A = this chain, B = another copy of it.
Amino acid sequence: MATVEELKLRVRELENELIKCKQKQCAMEDAHSSELHRPKIDKMSSEVVDSNPYSRLMALKRMGIVDDYEKIRTFTVAVVGVGGVGSVTAEMLTRCGIGKLLLFDYDKVELANMNRLFFQPHQAGLSKVEAAEHTLRNINPDVSFETHNYNITTMANFTHFMERISHGGLEEGTPVDLVLSCVDNFEARMAINTACNELGQIWMESGVSENAVSGHIQLIIPGETACFACAPPLVVAANIDEKTLKREGVCAASLPTTMGVVAGILVQNVLKYLLKFGTVSYYLGYNAMQDFFPTMAMKANPQCNDSFCRRQQEEYKKKEAERPKVEVVEEEEEAVVHEDNEWGIELVSEVTDAELQAASGTVPDLPEGITVAYTIPAECEPSGETVQETEQSLEDLMAQMRKL
């Protein structure tokens, strides 16, 4: 039987141990909360001190590149698809101090995604939008986030997606400034195209080929430039879900390099468009095998299958007709979008035919349902079977797509 003295000693021991345990817990919590946020800032500062996260961006004004960098805080961008390209796109915009980001994706982080930038192994199993929001908030608490963990191609979600694009701006009720397509399949691209045509929403499309060594970005102004239905790119990811393909043991290749470059040229185009500097590209391709970067511009197709695209074309024509014939030559406003506006109705490539020829080549032997987006140089891998597909005309391809 314990004496009172013994019990008192035990109480003291336990109290001390408990204090130590709680102290350790506090230290662990502190260590964890050191990962938490700095306070939001009121105003972007140009001050050159190590503690200013915006000094190197505000310097763009001093360098004569951007007139008013701080305007970045007034813009809202929607990123659809938070995978290899979309996640890096969102991170770049976050680090640039964009006002608000809307993120749409319905996938989970997997270890199989670790060959691309952004996600980390400990996030495996989390939804991509949830994991991305956590990381991005931590990087820059000044940005507002709105995330949607759903597939935009189902009927109900598509309606909600349209609603958020048209009302989810920084000030609730206003539309977003730009939609970025960073998805990996045809169906989702078509959904974004349909929504943006109906809303007259300017957007940018991006893509990376199944063989991981090429990609592109494209600016789409409904009614003005070709939409995704006017002249679908040579990506025919078919109507098979990526999951189905995976189950059949097929998987596209991907590289952090190609996806990083595509995200980089995409966000660069976004910055140029929003902050009005440099020349905004209508289309910029990236062929990694040959370090070839084709550019071109495409007019909207009057026979486009999408009725909203045709309606936007009518409205654009009307607006153009109403414009005064003689314009001030150097009009500051919207100069970025309207300069160099002499598009042909066909592909107007800024590269020679010989160069395009050199960039084309044979197509690897792929299972049904996958076709490469971009051909690879001829010396790479001879494979006769599907070569004929690259020799089809754009019209043939469009006819095929309509049948899908």
* In contact, B22 and A96 (Cβ under 8 angstroms): no
A68 contacts the other chain (Cβ, under 8 Å)? no
Interface string of A249-263 (1 = CB under 8 A from B): 111111111101101
Closest to A5 in B: B7
Interface residues of A in 39-70 (CB under 8 A from B): 48-57, 59-60, 62-65
Q: Which chain B residues border A365 with CB–CB below 8 Å? A: 64
- How far apart are the CA atoms of A269 and B255 in the complex, in Å? 12
Q: Which chain B residues border A279 with CB–CB below 8 Å? A: 289-291, 377
Q: Which chain B residues border A57 with CB–CB below 8 Å? A: 115, 253-255
A317 contacts the other chain (Cβ, under 8 Å)? no
* In contact, B95 and A120 (Cβ under 8 angstroms): no
A200 contacts the other chain (Cβ, under 8 Å)? no
* In contact, B92 and A34 (Cβ under 8 angstroms): no
Q: Which chain B residues border A2 with CB–CB below 8 Å? A: 4, 8
Interface residues of A in 111-160 (CB under 8 A from B): 111-112, 114-117, 120-122, 138-140
* In contact, A212 and B65 (Cβ under 8 angstroms): yes
Give the segment of A13-21, A222-230, A308-316 that binds chain B: A13-21
A179 contacts the other chain (Cβ, under 8 Å)? no
A183 contacts the other chain (Cβ, under 8 Å)? no
Interface residues of A in 235-282 (CB under 8 A from B): 246, 249-258, 260-261, 263-265, 267-269, 271-272, 277-279, 281
Q: Which chain B residues border A88 with CB–CB below 8 Å? A: 117, 260
Q: How large is the interface on A (under 10, 10 to 19, 20 to 34, 35 or more residues)?
A: 35 or more
Given known contacts A59-B252, A250-B48, is B293 in contact with A293 (CB within 8 Å)?
yes
- How far apart are the CA atoms of A35 and B66 in the complex, in Å? 40
- How far apart are the CA atoms of A213 and B116 in the complex, in Å? 24
How close is A297's CB to chain B, nearest CB, in angstroms? 12
Q: Which chain B residues border A97 with CB–CB below 8 Å? A: 115
- How far apart are the CA atoms of A35 and B8 in the complex, in Å? 42
Closest to A363 in B: B64
* In contact, A257 and B92 (Cβ under 8 angstroms): yes
A202 contacts the other chain (Cβ, under 8 Å)? no
Q: Which chain B residues border A205 with CB–CB below 8 Å? A: none
Q: Which chain B residues border A32 with CB–CB below 8 Å? A: 28, 32
Q: Which chain B residues border A291 with CB–CB below 8 Å? A: 265, 269, 279, 281, 284, 293, 295
Q: Which chain B residues border A14 with CB–CB below 8 Å? A: 11, 14-15, 18
Interface string of A383-399 (1 = CB under 8 A from B): 10000000000000000
A91 contacts the other chain (Cβ, under 8 Å)? yes
* In contact, A256 and B92 (Cβ under 8 angstroms): yes
- How far apart are the CA atoms of A372 and B64 in the complex, in Å? 12
* In contact, B63 and A112 (Cβ under 8 angstroms): no
Contact among B52, B140, B212, B263 for A63, CB-based, below 8 A: B212
How close is A186's CB to chain B, nearest CB, in angstroms? 19
Q: Which chain B residues border A50 with CB–CB below 8 Å? A: 110-112
* In contact, A91 and B117 (Cβ under 8 angstroms): yes
A167 contacts the other chain (Cβ, under 8 Å)? no
* In contact, B56 and A112 (Cβ under 8 angstroms): yes
Given known contacts A65-B213, A111-B51, A115-B54, is B252 in contact with A257 (CB within 8 Å)?
no
Given known contacts A115-B96, A260-B263, A261-B264, is B53 in contact with A364 (CB within 8 Å)?
no
A381 contacts the other chain (Cβ, under 8 Å)? yes
Q: Which chain B residues border A256 with CB–CB below 8 Å? A: 91-92, 95-96, 264, 267
Given contacts A88-B260, A95-B256, could you give 10 more A-B pairs where the C-beta distance is less than 8 Å? Answer: A24-B25, A57-B254, A63-B210, A63-B253, A65-B211, A65-B380, A258-B264, A261-B264, A278-B288, A281-B291
What 3 A-B pairs are tightest by C-beta distance, nearest first?
A64-B381, A261-B264, A64-B364
